[in-house]
Structure 1
Amino acid sequence: MKLLVYGAGVLGSLLSARLHEAGHDVSLLARGERLAALRRHGVRLAEGDSPAVRRVPVPVVEHPVGGYDLIAVLVRTHQVDAVLESLAGLEGDVLFLLNWAAGAEPLGAVIGHERVLLGFPTAAGTMDGDVVRYRATNLMTRLFPMPIGEPGGRTTPRLERTVRAFRTAGISAKAEPQMDAWLKTHAAFEVPLGQAVNAAGGPVALADDPDAVRGMIRLMRQNLAAMPTPPVPRGFVALQTLPEGLLVAVLRRFLRSSTAAHSGLDGASPAAAAELERMAEQMRAYARGR
């Protein structure tokens, strides 16, 4: 497969490096200072807090050119519109691996409905200068594989081929027949969580304010109730059915955990705030249309 990874942040860099090491014909699209750093040193990876850094010479491009079998888009939600314009004239299927609660329709309207695949990257990491630090267990765990699906829920040869490509690169992935519902469920949880963490000044500060956690849970429940379909995965039904007091205790424990500390919930940034607002807009839109 000839692949293009569109977006050279933590996840785009990590996935492109893994695909390159597995022997795939992959290029990484980057801009500005990140492009210059990648041209000098390639993708630089380190596992956890290890001082050992390895260099992966992934080919980098500034603009998408030619035809691809698959373009994997890893950008923030509010950046998608600009990306769509640059993809409209290219060939190849497009896998959107990002926060997206608006469904496939607005994506397909620009680049062609037959090209769209939906997914979400469940790996996590941080950028330390130009070094991507990640946890191998998060990348390869079978407990939380990266879901990828067709907008209509079918199992197609291209979906199977895409999942297989990631698996051969050591990236845990699976076909998800309800990918749109999965993304809406994630947004219903993620937006109140991110906004509450940012308002409190960090996950630990939020954990120390049980009233704020309680308000966050109520917003999550409102979002889930507004969804046009039941939550996916089904485990999120617990947010609607478990006693509020129990959920407050569970989420306060999570907010103090190392998982929360390494998940990016450590403060607001302009980009993160813009993404949360765009996701909130998408949820308000489907709630109005219900």
Structure 2
Amino acid sequence: MKLLVYGAGVCGSLFAARLHEAGVDVSLLARGERLASLRRHGVQLAEEDSPAVRRVPVPVVEHPADGHDLSGHDLSRYDLTCVLVRAHHVDAVLESLTGLDGDVLFLHNWAAGAEPLGAAIGHERVLLGFPPALAGGTMDGGVVRYRAANFMTSRVPMPIGEPDGRATPRLERIVREFRTAGINAKAEPRMDAWLRTHAAFEAPLGRAAYAAGGPVALADDPDAVRGMLRLMRHNLAAMPGPPVPRAFAALRSLPEGLLVALLRRFLRSPTVVRSGLSDTSPAAAAELDCLAEQIRAQAKVR
């Protein structure tokens, strides 16, 4: 299978590097300074604060339909394009994918459903997914610094599914290819509901942490946590069906006081403190705003 990874941020770079090291025919799309850095050095990886940097020579392209990389490899056709960008960048990505062949797996925060994706590139090409919450790290210059327990080695599987929930041969093939490459993937028959549930939880959580200045500061403000929880409950109640995974139903059924206490403990946990919830960049805020707008739009449709 020939793959294109669209998005050379932390997750996209880690994803492409792991696939390349596993022997998969993969290319990484990047632009601007990131493209120049990747062409000079390859994907540079380092574990958290370690001074040791290793370089993975993933083929790089600037446009989806680029014909060849610097080594002369034909990069004009792909069996699968994996999109790993922030939600507010998806519209721009769709424009560049319209003339490209092959299936497209969208791996990112998304609460708008498959319809706008399929309307732009063809409904038959769309698959949905999400890299697990353990994915993450920071970009230090041109070096991706990641936690040792990143999503390539995580016990938390990467869910992938057809928009209509079918168990298709292409879905089985893609899951099998990722597993062979050492990526813990699984077929999720309710992928659209999974993404909506995640957004219903993630958007209030991320926006509250952003406003507070980080997860620990949010944990120290029980009133802010209570307001965040109520918005989560509102979002989940507005969904057309039950949450996926079912465990999220506890956010609607357990007593508010108990949930506030549990969420405050959760926000102080080492995994959360070192997660993307500490990201105060404008890009993080823009993605959270995009998710919140998608949730509001879906509630109006319902």
TM-score, structure 2 normalization:
0.93
Q: Which residue of 1 aligns with 2:68?
A: none
Q: Does 1:145 align with 2:160?
A: no
Distance of 2:155 and 2:194 partners within structure 1: 16
Distance of 1:113 and 1:95 partners within structure 2: 12
Asked if the contact 1:182/1:231 (under 8 Å) is kept, the reply is yes
Q: Which residue of 2 aligns with 1:56?
A: 56
How do 1:277-288 residues align onto structure 2 when only pairs under 5 Å count?
Answer: 277-288=289-300
Q: Secondary structure at the match of 2:102?
A: strand
The Cα offsets for residues 97-140 of structure 1, whole Å up to 9 and x where unpaired, read as: 01110111100001000000000011222222221122343324
The gaps in structure 2 that reach 5 residues or longer are 66-75
Which amino acid counterpart does residue 28 of structure 1 have in structure 2? L
Q: Which residue of 1 aligns with 2:111?
A: 101
Q: Quote the offset at 1:228 in angstroms.
A: 0.5
Q: Which residue of 1 aligns with 2:215?
A: 203
Q: Tell me: CA distance 1:121–1:284, structure 2 relative to 1, closer, same or farther (3 Å).
A: same
Aligned match of 1:87 in 74, 89, 97? 97
Q: Secondary structure at the match of 1:159?
A: helix
Asked if the contact 2:155/2:184 (under 8 Å) is kept, the reply is no
Distance of 1:202 and 1:239 partners within structure 2: 22
Distance of 2:164 and 2:219 partners within structure 1: 39
Which amino acid counterpart does residue 38 of structure 2 have in structure 1? L
The gaps in structure 1 that reach 5 residues or longer are none
Distance of 1:168 and 1:191 partners within structure 2: 33
Q: Secondary structure at the match of 2:151?
A: helix
Q: Does 1:135 align with 2:177?
A: no
Q: Which residue of 2 aligns with 1:218?
A: 230
Q: Which residue of 2 aligns with 1:251?
A: 263
Aligned match of 1:186 in 178, 198, 203? 198
Distance of 2:274 and 2:122 partners within structure 1: 36
Asked if the contact 1:197/1:267 (under 8 Å) is kept, the reply is no
Count of aligned residue pairs for this structure pair: 290
Q: Which residue of 2 aligns with 1:37?
A: 37
More deviation, 118-127/1-10: 118-127
Asked if the contact 2:159/2:185 (under 8 Å) is kept, the reply is yes
TM-score, structure 1 normalization:
0.97
Distance of 1:142 and 1:125 partners within structure 2: 14
Q: Quote the offset at 1:26 in angstroms.
A: 0.5
Q: Tell me: CA distance 1:8–1:142, structure 2 relative to 1, closer, same or farther (3 Å).
A: closer
Q: Which residue of 2 aligns with 1:241?
A: 253
Which amino acid counterpart does residue 115 of structure 1 have in structure 2? R
Which amino acid counterpart does residue 41 of structure 1 have in structure 2? H
Asked if the contact 1:45/1:54 (under 8 Å) is kept, the reply is yes
Q: Secondary structure at the match of 1:282?
A: helix
Identity of aligned residues (%): 80
Q: Secondary structure at the match of 1:139?
A: coil
Q: Tell me: CA distance 1:270–1:14, structure 2 relative to 1, closer, same or farther (3 Å).
A: same
Asked if the contact 2:215/2:267 (under 8 Å) is kept, the reply is yes
Alpha-carbon RMSD: 1.2
